[in-house]
Amino acid sequence: MVPDETRTAMKKILADIQSGDFAREWIAENKSGCKNFNALREAEKNHPVEEVGSRLRAMMSWLPKEQKKSAAAPEPKVVNA
């Protein structure tokens, strides 16, 4: 069951996508150097699930050493539109 608050938020997001607001905001974010995106990404690196994931990957003998070392995914390439 989806709570009303979630349903309302999902409708708002869909409206932003359909109106083009989301795309305009994303393009502006990229053109300005991705400050907000990078701040969000940095905050997520410090989430407790990342520490647990890192410890779990270290125990997985079948993973290459490169994947065991880092809890963070490689940085994506930013394409300026």
Does this model's pTM top 0.75?
no
Q: Round to whole Å and give the CA distance between 67 and 54.
A: 9
**Cα separation, 68 vs 81, whole angstroms:** 34
- The rounded distance, in Å, linking the Cα atoms of 78 and 75 is 9
Q: Where are the domains of the chain?
A: 1-33, 34-74
What's the token pair of residue 49? 């699930």
Encoded tokens for 26: 């994303």
Q: What are the pLDDT tens digits along the chain (81 aa)?
A: 999 999 999 999 999 999 999 999 999 999 999 999 999 999 998 899 998 998 898 899 898 887 766 544 545 555 555
Q: What is the DSSP string of the chain?
A: ---HHHHHHHHHHHHHHHHTHHHHHHHHHHHTT-HHHHHHHHHHHTSHHHHHHHHHHHT-TTS-HHHHH-SSPPPPPP---
